[in-house]
Amino acid sequence: MPVISLFAWMLVIAFLAFIACMFEDLESDIGSQSNPNSQVQLAPEMGYIHRYFNKAISGEGLSYALSCTIAGTIAMLMLLKLEPMLAAKDMSLGYAAVLAIPVGAAVGSLVHMVRSSVCHVGREAAHKRFEQPIYLDVFYGHLLPIATHNFMAVICITAIAYIQCNLGILSGVTGASNPFPLPLLCLIWGLTVGAIGSSTGDIHYGTEREFQDKPFGEGRRVVYHGQICRYGDCGIRTSKDVAAFCAKYGGPATGLAFGLIVLFENWRTVIGMLLGDLAGPAWNPSIAAAGGIGIGIGIAIVLIILARTLEKWARNKYGPFVGE
């Protein structure tokens, strides 16, 4: 029975991971962040004034590490205070988590919102000589969507970290918890979620949405750089219009990447633990570790084969580059 609940918690973690990374990518599209932001930065320098929200906090990995770690720290401090009170009254510890995780995530998102607000004015004030104004409606109108999308991602990450560091208690299988403390786990997953969101979702935003008036099916040549699409469906485009587009493909694909990573990581660890006879008398850690490693190498080989097949399909279907 305990092992089944271990798998159940794994699925919950994978589901939360999917949601977290999807919202991470959408949030980095609403406030233009990280790699495609270099184009939003370049555009005024080439004379193309825009109404995007130029949010250049740092790379997405570090920015999400910040909001997730602050969320994890506040949650950890609240749990530190609340859990002894609940234990003294012999109540379930879940009451503390239900309060601590959302409050921590809210504080983390507020800090993130403050960090984004200084970025837009800072970068556009440094564009004074290129005559890029700071549109106040762009500035005020994007802060709340940034905060809310960030909150969704951060609360999922904090929940994942909480489950992982308390997995032994939650599932009843001792020794299944991760030994790292909650804020450190939040830092780790924040860095990972930012790195993945930056590597996958940014492609859809940068190649497709930013250069939507350029032909589909080719890379964006260096001569196009800076000539971003500034006009929207009706009037001038703002960053909020970007999120609606990327939510159709880039966002869910990014969520898929992180969800699959978390799913297969946890799945192969649990299978390894079962092979080593977890929760049984003959607990053999070496077989558990080796089992996990073997399954992982198998998955990597399957991935290489899949990638090769996909590339071959694309080469045959699309053919060599047509045009000049």
Partner 1 sequence: MEPITVYLLVLVCIIIGGILSSLAVHLMPVGGAPAAMATATGIATGCVMLMTGAAVTGLFTASTVASFWVTNPNVILVALSGAVGSMLMMGFTMFVGNLIYIFGAGIVPCSGRVAVDPITKESQTEYKTPRTDGHGVPTVSFVSGILGGFSGGFGGALIYVMLVSDSYAHFSVATAGIVAMGIFIANAIIAAYNIGGTIEGFHDPKFKARIRTGLTCSLIVSALCGVIVVIAMLTGTLVGGVM
Partner 2 sequence: MGEEEAKQAKQEEKEEKAKPKEKFKLSFDYFNESRLGILALIIGVLIAIFPGLPAFIKGIGIMIVFAWGADSVRKTARYGLGTGVPSIGVLALGFGIVGGITGIAVASMRFGTLEVLGGKVEIAFGVLAGVVLLALLGFVSGNLANGDKFINMKIPGLERGMTELGIAGTLAVLIETSIVAGTYDPARVLPNVINNGLIAAIFIISAFGMLQPYNTCLGADERRARTLLMSIEIGGIASIILGIATTLTLSAVQGVPLIVLGAVVWVVFYRAYMKACMDEAYATPGTGLIKTLGG
Q: What residues between 37 and 96 interact with partner 2 by CB under 8 A?
A: 41, 45, 47-51, 56-59, 62, 65-66, 69-70, 72-74, 76-77, 80-81
DSSP string, 212-248: TTSPTTS---GGGTT----B-SSSB--HHHHHHHHTT
Looking at the Cβ atoms of 117 and 171, the one nearer to partner 2 is: 117
Task: State the DSSP H helix or E strand holding residue 87, giving kind and residue range, or none if neither.
Answer: helix 60-88
Any contact of residue 147 with partner 2 (CB under 8 A)? no
Looking at the Cβ atoms of 242 and 273, the one nearer to partner 1 is: 273
Any contact of residue 130 with partner 2 (CB under 8 A)? yes
3-state secondary structure of 4: helix
Task: State the DSSP H helix or E strand holding residue 103, giving kind and residue range, or none if neither.
Answer: helix 94-125
Residues 303 and 258: their CA atoms lie apart, in Å, by 15
CB of 149 to partner 1, least distance (A): 19
Please, what's the b/e burial string for 39-64 (b: 16 or more CB within 10 A of its CB; e: otherwise)? Answer: bbbebbeeebebbbbbbbbebbbebb
Looking at the Cβ atoms of 142 and 268, the one nearer to partner 2 is: 142
74, 75, 78, 83: CA torsion to nearest 10: -160
Any contact of residue 224 with partner 2 (CB under 8 A)? no
Residues 243 and 184: their CA atoms lie apart, in Å, by 30
Residues 323 and 29: their CA atoms lie apart, in Å, by 31
User: Using CB distances below 5 to 8 A depending on partner kind, what does residue 133 bind out of partner 1, partner 2, none?
Assistant: partner 2
Looking at the Cβ atoms of 41 and 200, the one nearer to partner 2 is: 41
Q: What residues between 110 and 129 interact with partner 2 by CB under 8 A?
A: 111, 114-115, 117-119, 121-129
- 2-41 mask for partner 2 (x: CB under 8 A)? ---------------------------------------x
Looking at the Cβ atoms of 24 and 124, the one nearer to partner 2 is: 124
**235, 281, 319, 320: which one binds partner 2 (CB under 8 A):** 235
Q: What is the CA radius of gyration of the chain?
A: 23
Binding site for partner 2 (CB under 8 A): 41, 45, 47-51, 56-59, 62, 65-66, 69-70, 72-74, 76-77, 80-81, 111, 114-115, 117-119, 121-137, 180-187, 230, 235-236
